[in-house]
Amino acid sequence: MDLTVQAANEITGTVKAPPSKSYSHRAFLMAFLADGESTLRDPLYSEDTLASLNTGIEMGSTVKRTESLCSIQGVAGKPKTPYDVLDLKNSGTTLRIMTSLASLADGFTVLTGDNSLKTRPMQDLLDALKPLGVTACSTRNDGKAPIIVKGGFYGGETSIKGDVSSQFISSIIMAAPLAKKPVDLKVKGEFISQPYVMMTLELMNKFGVKVDFDKTENSFHIEPQSYKPADYTVEGDYSSASYIIAAAAALKSDVKIKNLMKDSKQGDKIILDIVRDMGCEVKVKNNEVEIKGQGMLNGVDVNLQNAPDLLPTVAALGAMADGTTNIYGVEHARFKETDRIHTCSTELSKLGVSLIEKRDGIQINGGVHGGVVKSHMDHRLAMAFYIVGLKVGGICIKDASVYKVSFPDFPDIMKKLTAG
């Protein structure tokens, strides 16, 4: 589906932030592992998170769901071997976490997905699992999906590089409590996107699992234990809310976004600091953010090392701002749904944006006009370019419906806010 976006004069109103995709993934999978029935309140049902929920069902959990409630009967740490190959669609989070969790089942599990998912690097995780007694390999021997995982997670000591994907670390940590013996995991080198791992630890604690984390050594120790059922409410998603925040910053606005927690561990909370630095008024209460914009932004320097998913949003803001915006520290964004540094640069160039693509980011000189862009089947690009369309008008986004991966109600919410 193509989507044409026309300019809006202003954006006003109050909306509730969509539930966190990252927390929903983890909550679905921890409830799947738990010994008993968990109640998840206000979870996100999107194409990505449903890959995790449905995988749990395929491996033995029982699910009852309504729009705002999901009850999951867990498998008590003993997943069943799935009847068929598991198609994870475009969900990199599900692929990476399930590569470790699948080793808790007997037999063999095959994990695959769409063409984009089959480009995501997995070899570092496969190598790190080997010392723990896990046999997992790429069917094409290229370190990418399809991945075959043999049942068996013994435990022990291992290490992994910290500069590729924090999801590798979360994957091992989430499976570790159910290993036969303790697990010690050392993160080597630069530890990128650390807030996502802290989110994992926070949620594991809510499901009754304790992890010892040594901040100085960047190491984790996990004793054998079991996941307990939980009653958990999913908080709002700063990643998805970033598009609403960006639109409010770029236009004349008065917008309130509910269910965004002031003390959230989400790294993408930095979007509030970014738009504030660009000249937007931001007020934060306990669970609500208020944005007031004047339609004028200035360029900024932004390190997105711990918030790589914000790259498309900040790139769009930089294109709409006066002066130069320098985004750096985000080379790992090249290993997302697309090479986001390259695809953002390519598509912004089509809209007349003067920029320099760098190894770890983009330097953007403000100034943008309408035109036709491709989403590259990346949900975050589609939504970021929608925001540009609200500012300058005449933006046609090819394959725009990919927004459903993380934010199914995105166009409806934006139309509500721009309708006044």
To the question of whether residue 118 is assigned a binding role by annotation, the answer is no
What are the C-alpha distances in Å from 55 to residues 69, 73, 113? 18, 14, 12
For residues 55 and 86, what is the distance between their CA atoms, to the nearest angstrom? 7
237 is in an annotated binding site: no
- Indicate which residue of 309, 322, 339, 412 is catalytic: 309
| CB 227, CB 34: distance < 8 Å | yes
| DSSP states along 184-219 | EEEEES--TTHHHHHHHHHHHHHTT---EEETTTTE
193 in a labelled binding site: yes
Alpha-carbon span 129 to 153, nearest angstrom: 9
Check whether 120 is labelled as a binding-site residue.
Answer: yes
Is 161 known as a binding-site position?
A: no
162 is in an annotated binding site: no
- 22 annotated to a ligand binding site: yes
Q: Is 21 annotated as a binding residue?
A: yes
DSSP letter string over 366-404? Answer: S----EEEE-TT-HHHHHHHHHHHHHH--EEEETGGGGG
- Can you tell me the distance from the alpha carbon of 138 to that of 387, in angstroms, rounded to the nearest whole number? 38
Please check if 130 is assigned to a binding site.
no
Residue 380 annotated as part of some ligand binding site: yes
| Interatomic CA distance for residues 212 and 250, integer angstroms | 43
96 is in an annotated binding site: no
Contact (CB, 8 A) for 311 and 382 = no
User: Would residue 309 show up in a list of annotated catalytic residues for this protein?
Assistant: yes
Q: Tell me the C-alpha distance between 401 and 403, whole Å.
A: 5
Cα–Cα distance, 78 to 411 (Å, whole number): 40
Q: Is 166 annotated as a binding-site member?
A: yes
Is 41 annotated among the ligand-binding residues? no
Which residues are part of a known binding site?
Answer: 21-22, 26, 92, 120, 165-167, 193, 309, 336, 340, 380
- Active-site residue list: 309
Binding positions for phosphoenolpyruvate: 21, 92, 120, 167, 340, 380
Known binding residues for 3-phosphoshikimate = 21-22, 26, 165-167, 193, 309, 336
